[in-house]
Amino acid sequence: MLEINYLLSELETKLRLIIAERQLTNPLLIGIRTGGVWIAEQMHHRLNISEPLGLLDISFYRDDFSQIGVNPNVKPSQLPPYIEGRDIILIDDVFYTGRTIRAALNEIFDFGRPNQVVLAVLIERDGKQIPLCPDCAGVSIILDAGQRIKLTGPAPLAIHLQTMEDAA
């Protein structure tokens, strides 16, 4: 069920549908570092979009700064200078608590006011803590307690289902 190519194709199909439905003629794709960028690169290629992919590093917008501090590997976000009025497709690997997406939306709106934002994720899992949800997902799953999903990449891209004992 968690086969990467199958999920990428699923996501692509659903994204094409949304793009048609909402008539997104010139969407701007933005990937969230790190895993989201890998998925966004795939979609960028499959949807044959010429405009460079936007890269978002949400480190400065996280709500757990006071607990974990600044990530020394933070890289500057790279978005086009004008996102005012744009149709944005925001892409992440796993949708879990929703906190990453909240941070990403806050950062995007600090760059300007987009026309709309579509959220696409490879995997939507249970456990959300904020009233947000993806517009499309490669798959939606419910994990057992103690399970988590980890993506490795960028080449080869692979999905790993771990239990807490594996991770420890």
Binding site for other proteins (CB under 8 A): 57, 59-61, 65-70, 72-77, 81, 84, 106-107, 109-112
Provide the minimum distance between the beta carbon of 146 and other proteins in the complex, in angstroms, as a whole number: 26
**In terms of DSSP H, where are the helices of 22-157?**
35-46, 65-68, 99-111
Amino acid (1-letter code) at residue 26:
N
**Cβ closer to other proteins: 58 or 120?**
58
Q: How many CB atoms lie within 10 A of CB 65?
A: 12
CA distance 60 to 135: 25
**In terms of DSSP H, where are the helices of 22-75?**
35-46, 65-68
Reading the block at residue 2, the tokens are: 């968690």
Provide the minimum distance between the beta carbon of 98 and other proteins in the complex, in angstroms, as a whole number: 17
Question: Which residues, including other chains, have CB under 8 Å from residue 134's CB and lie 6 or more apart?
Answer: 95, 119, 120, 121, 124
**Cβ closer to other proteins: 12 or 57?**
57
Provide the minimum distance between the beta carbon of 94 and other proteins in the complex, in angstroms, as a whole number: 24
**Cβ closer to other proteins: 77 or 100?**
77
Provide the minimum distance between the beta carbon of 125 and other proteins in the complex, in angstroms, as a whole number: 27
Q: Which residues of 126-163 are buried (b: 16+ CB within 10 A; e: fewer)?
A: eebeeeeebbbbbbeeebeeeebbebebeeebebeeee
**Cβ closer to other proteins: 30 or 120?**
30
**Cβ closer to other proteins: 68 or 145?**
68
Provide the minimum distance between the beta carbon of 85 and other proteins in the complex, in angstroms, as a whole number: 12
